[in-house]
Chains A and B, each alone.
Chain A
Amino acid sequence: MSVITYRQALRDTLRAEMHRDENVFLMGEEIGVFEGSYKITEGLLKEFGERRVRDTPIAEEGFVGAAIGAAMLGLRPVVEIMTINFSLIAIDQIINHAAKIYGMFGGQTSVPMVIRTPGGGGQQLGATHSQNIELFYSFVPGLKVLAPSTPAEAAAMLRAAIRDDDPVLFLENLGLYNSKGEVPEGDETVAEIGRAAVTREGTDITLIGYSRMAMVAGQVAEALAAEGISVEVVDLRSLRPLDRQTIVESVCKTGSAVIAEDDWLTYGIGAEIAASIQEGAFDYLDAPVRRVAMAEVPMPYAKPLESAALPSVESITTAVKETLNAVGRRVG
């Protein structure tokens, strides 16, 4: 067992997958000579050469479209979009082509590609560079959207994404790259796509998150345990397909739920989770489902304003306590 960063887990996995399968190659802006804006691809150009690690011009629609063509030839492109914000430029190729080619071409050709891209605020990157727009892709049949929160998950899920025959949007998070976790030495687990995980068992309330918010949810649960509150944490891990069963089973057990999400509240991922809970656990609910999300404003650049806009340990803790109070359990 070794403790490594989320960044290292991604890099190790890319490297191992490139050794495993000659058809896997990387493409994106700044990933070669510069070794990636966030250094996920550090060392890979040196090791694999330009044939396997392709630097591209600043043209997201272009290289995502070209990757789709390469995937139709039978290659397995792993594309890096520097941040999810820039995927907006490629959204036609992702939603109208990557997601639909298999169906519109009558199953004649699949598109086995991965788009790796980080979301996340909190880095003072301003309104156009701090968004969490994974919802756009989670909405679309034909795509799969994965959002791991720990280094071990990141490795197992990236492995699964690369080996999958469908297009996968693999969501990373700027706030997770330096986070650390245990990854077993020589681990070759391939995650099952579409499974959430109960990462902490509890009995009083279910706290649901994904990506960075799953990590924050763990911190909230840990702190509340000291106050005698038993929080069950569900890490969604996969936004499409969504594991409704794990969510519903947890809420049936605890009777209440809070959802923590890094996107905007209205029409957000949390709305879909709340609907799923209503459909599957209506008779078990002792209080309304609460959502804690970003303030519905373009992300401010000023640090204090950005912090105010983002969900935090404090705001999630407050929502958990208010929900438990609504249930009738006085928790201060």
Chain B
Amino acid sequence: MSNNTAQKQPELVQLLTPEGELRRHPDYPIDISAEEMRGLYRDLVLVRRVDTEAVALQRQGELGLWASLLGQEAAQIGSGRALRPGDMAFPSYREHGVAWCRGIRPRQLLSMFRGVSNGGWDPHEYGFHLYSIVIASQTLHATGYAMGVQRDGALGADGTAVICYFGDGATSQGDTSEAFNFAAVNNAPVVFFCQNNQWAISEPPERQARVPLYRRAAGFGFPGVRIDGNDVLASLAVTRAALQHAREGQGPMLIEAFTYRMGAHTTNDDPSRYRVSAELEEWRSKDPIERVRTHLTNEGIADDAFFAEVDAEAESIGERVRRECRELPDPDPLDIFHEVYAEPNGHIDRQRADFADYLASFEDADAEGVR
């Protein structure tokens, strides 16, 4: 946030300082056990390890692309752990931490980034939709889904809530404004979770908006709050409150998780072309994992053996991700004709048959016509 001259930065909800100290907030009390704290630390470390491995796999040519979550672990793990099993999340393409919380295995994510599968999981089974690549389109899908939940009468203290993830860049798209408005006028049970990671590829915040993003909500008629996006407890507590607000029929909320994309936009990007290293250093001092480790140590609720155990588990997951990625089978060329239509389609069947004949025409074709 070195260059934002639009105005003074507002207060944000912070429950765990970068120095690892707990802070009370009147609106967002949190009661968390030592075991839960250790669980959050484990989540944070493991998803960072999966992410690091995925970046390496892309560099080795094993993945077509990867969008790193480095720096955004707390925003994702906190909000992901706030979800109940029956809730539904609509992600963008960077929500590997939320996917982790929903029980999606890294292998399922990698199958998409490797390009061997278009859909690695059943969204209804996991309460986690498939990644949306087009910016902001999922804000409308989440809103329509939430309106459907409302129509089905699935609200109440034990009802269903919907959460939609997007970045600061998506707030410039019309889809997001239309989703905010539809959700507001219909009082839809949806939480808009914006990870403001300070960069829409190379566009800084001051080129995207003149007011803090969380304040957009007020104009549409629902609450908005900015949280320290590197604070896993703030993310957990505020998301939990927002989901409850939604599921009880009180309508949408916007959470702006103020965080930082410590890595590149994707593996195709080189951030050194547009941002200075001092900014990265400044955010490194607010690292989302380090403060939890400090807290656990200072409070005496985790010892060296625990940290060593988590590190060992991370290494083992890294190794497993690498192995499983390389073992993913390539799809059959004829698969391109699968899943164009949900219903049988003669035109697609003819194309498939023609292509099968073409493949079978090669001398080295196997019995099924596939080379």
Q: Which residues of A pack against B, CB within 8 Å?
A: 25, 51, 56-57, 59, 61-75, 77, 92-93, 96-97, 102-110, 112, 141-142, 144, 164-166, 193-194, 240-242
Contact = CB atoms under 8 A, between A and B. Distances in A.
B178 interface: yes
Contacts of B340: 102-103, 141-142
B148 A73 contact: yes
Contact of B130 (A66, A71, A73, A104): A104
Nearest to A240: B347
Interface residues of B, number: 44
A61 B119 contact: no
B interface secondary structure, majority: helix
Interface stretch (B137-145, B207-215, B285-293): B137-145
Contacts, number: 139
A108 B123 contact: yes
Given A65-B179, A110-B342, A241-B345, A104 B118 contact: yes
B143 A66 contact: yes
A18 to B, nearest CB: 14
B145 A166 contact: no
Contact of B141 (A69, A164, A165, A193): A69
Contacts of A66: 140-141, 143-144, 147, 179, 182
A165 B179 contact: no
A94 B303 CA distance: 54
A69 B339 CA distance: 19
Given A65-B139, A69-B148, A73-B144, 19 more contacts: A61-B174, A65-B178, A66-B141, A66-B147, A66-B179, A69-B146, A72-B129, A72-B144, A73-B145, A75-B151, A92-B134, A93-B137, A103-B339, A104-B118, A106-B120, A108-B119, A108-B123, A166-B341, A241-B345
A291 B120 CA distance: 46
B123 A68 contact: no
Contacts of A194: 345-347
A163 to B, nearest CB: 10
Nearest to B118: A106
Contacts of B21: none
15 contacts: A56-B182, A61-B175, A65-B139, A68-B141, A69-B140, A69-B142, A69-B144, A92-B175, A106-B120, A107-B118, A107-B119, A107-B339, A108-B130, A166-B341, A194-B346
B181 interface: yes
Interface string B311-342: 00000000000000000000000000011111
Contacts of B145: 69-70, 72-73
Contacts of A112: 342
A34 B2 CA distance: 52
B117 interface: yes
Interface string B9-28: 00000000000000000000
Nearest first, the 8 A-B pairs at minimum CB distance are A106-B119, A65-B140, A69-B144, A66-B144, A62-B178, A110-B342, A69-B141, A106-B118
Nearest to A245: B346
Contacts of B185: 57
Given A59-B182, A108-B119, A70 B148 contact: yes
A187 to B, nearest CB: 22
